A and B are shown apart, each in its own frame.
Chain A
């Protein structure tokens, strides 16, 4: 059974700081990895998807990297804003994308105004 681990479990930083969220996975046959945002009591918002053949993806202030050999991914958030406060989930899938996603437990992020 594949595992996804996210560190830290919670993070609180002042507004404006750059920050990095970490994700590690055990699946050596990873097909793609996604980062999601989840607001309290809400569903998931997909942020970035990285295929196993890619090393990074960028969207606005977000940059996600993938190192398949070490089983690690990072989500970099630049110039953090209070609106970035949410839980960030990392998830991976294998089986050519036919399998369901294995999720980490998330990092609960608070950006202090």
Chain B
């Protein structure tokens, strides 16, 4: 149980294009989903928190107009990187939290974004 998927696992795009990443909780309802970013040889940094049906809360320094988050249902959240640039190249990982013991977050496998 508690499986989270992400799609795509890897994407390469040209500078200026937009990329959408999906995060799905497969066997539980996710009341909250989190989006993290990991640059090479760095740790994970929280970008934003999204609750189903409401606007995402962004961490300081994360541009909400550039990283659009939609949490339309209890099993799906999407992150859209708009007008991507090479500096947006990173590993994006989502996690989902439902009504589990200890409010544990379950992580997706991540999406490797490369912007040329």
A binding-site residues for B, Cβ under 8 Å: 31-32, 34, 36, 41-44, 46, 49, 51, 89, 91, 93, 96-106
Contacts and interface: CB of A to CB of B under 8 A. Distances in A.
Contact of A101 (B102, B105, B109, B112): B105
B26 interface: no
Chain B interface size, under 10 / 10 to 19 / 20 to 34 / 35 or more:
20 to 34
Contacts of B59: 100
Contacts of B45: 103
Which DSSP category, helix, strand, loop or mixed, fits chain B's interface? Answer: strand
A43 B109 contact: yes
Interface stretch (B14-22, B36-44, B77-85): B36-44
A44 B43 contact: no
Contact of A89 (B34, B44, B110): B44
B54 to A, nearest CB: 13
B49 A100 contact: yes
Interface string B93-109: 10101000011111111
B102 A97 contact: yes
Contact of B112 (A34, A41, A93, A105): A41
